Amino acid sequence: MRPESTSVTFRDDIAALVQEYLDKSARKKLIGRRVAPIFRHPEMSGGYPIFRRDGFKKRTDDTRTVEGGYRNLVFEFGKGTFDTEDRGLESSVDQRTRKRFKRLFDAEVATVNPLVYQILLNHEYRVAQLMSGAGFTNHNVDTAWSTAASATPLDDLQTGIDAL
């Protein structure tokens, strides 16, 4: 989000550097964004529609009917919710430092990578805390998946996901 204060100057060049760093360097070092991605959203909380899992558990014949049409499936939607939190860090570079290094590099730009890395490191820590408390344990299936008539792989997977 852009700052609301009029005393803050938003620099598009630094924003581009942040995005470039997120896209390249940080992805190689940390896995938190792959495990629990960061989603930017303009609202602080809300709801969204989701497909109910039951609609994916049964097979439906997909051949063309005698009348020349196809079977019409109606899916039920459920509702998911989300809450967001603003997180960030800032660093100030005084005029003296800026002037001292102006010939060599832009001091404000140089502060971007460490700031972004710290934010991602904090995200990594929060993800690790979530995952370590979940307990990665084996969840044995009730019926072997090779028994097609009575196996429930989606239920077995969902049980493991819910436990996580």
Residue count of the chain: 164
- Identify how many contiguous H helices and E strands the chain contains and give both numbers: 7, 2
- Residue 45 is predicted with a pLDDT of 93
What is the residue range of 31's domain?
Answer: 12-57+73-163
Domain membership of residue 1 (yes or no) is no
Q: How many domains does the chain have?
A: 1
Ranges 29-38, 86-95, 153-162, most confident: 86-95
Is 64 in contact with 70 (CB distance < 8 Å)?
yes
Domain membership of residue 64 (yes or no) is no
Domain membership of residue 5 (yes or no) is no
Residue 58 vs residue 119, higher pLDDT? 119
Domain membership of residue 131 (yes or no) is yes
In the predicted structure, residue 90 carries a pLDDT above the cut 70? yes
Domain membership of residue 66 (yes or no) is no
Instruction: For residues 52-81, give the mean pLDDT.
Output: 83
- Residue 133 is predicted with a pLDDT of 65
- Residue 60 is predicted with a pLDDT of 82
Position 46 confidence tier, pLDDT thresholds 50, 70, 90: very high
Is 14 in contact with 112 (CB distance < 8 Å)?
yes
Q: Give the residue carrying structure tokens 């049980």.
A: 159
